[in-house]
Amino acid sequence: MDKIFKQDTKFLTNGKKPEETCALSDLPKEGVIGLYFSAHWCPPCRGFTPKLAEAYKSIRAAGKALEIVFVSSDKDDKAFLEYFAEQPWLALPFAERDLKAKLSKKYKVSG
């Protein structure tokens, strides 16, 4: 992950309390870290998110090292926070639009 994010990158840990963050160094050194590109306005995403959340919770409850970082394609911070509040994983802050654009380009994500 340190090849994708800067060491000082902060991630939101709770959509209901957007002031709570963690650093890149707080993420697991082993296991899987996935990037979840999604948006509040995307109907297929809205249908998939609860299924991914269920799998995420199940995998973590089984003691497996998994973290997901939500990378939002929402139109504004309000929609981002509303959608992130439904998610159990971390998020790249909405204000990190330049980093979001770089990630979208790197992984060929549109929307």
Digit-coded pLDDT (tens) for 56-78: 999 999 999 999 999 999 999 99
Which DSSP state fits 42?
Answer: -
pLDDT above 60 for 33: yes
> In what helix (H) or strand (E) does residue 10 lie, and over which residues does it extend?
strand 10-12
Q: Identify the pLDDT of residue 17.
A: 84
Separation CA 95–CA 17 (nearest Å): 16
Answer yes or no: are the C-beta atoms of 71 and 35 closer than 8 Å.
yes
Q: Identify the pLDDT of residue 2.
A: 57
Strand partners, 35: 69
pTM: predicted TM-score of the whole model, two decimal places: 0.92
Separation CA 55–CA 31 (nearest Å): 15
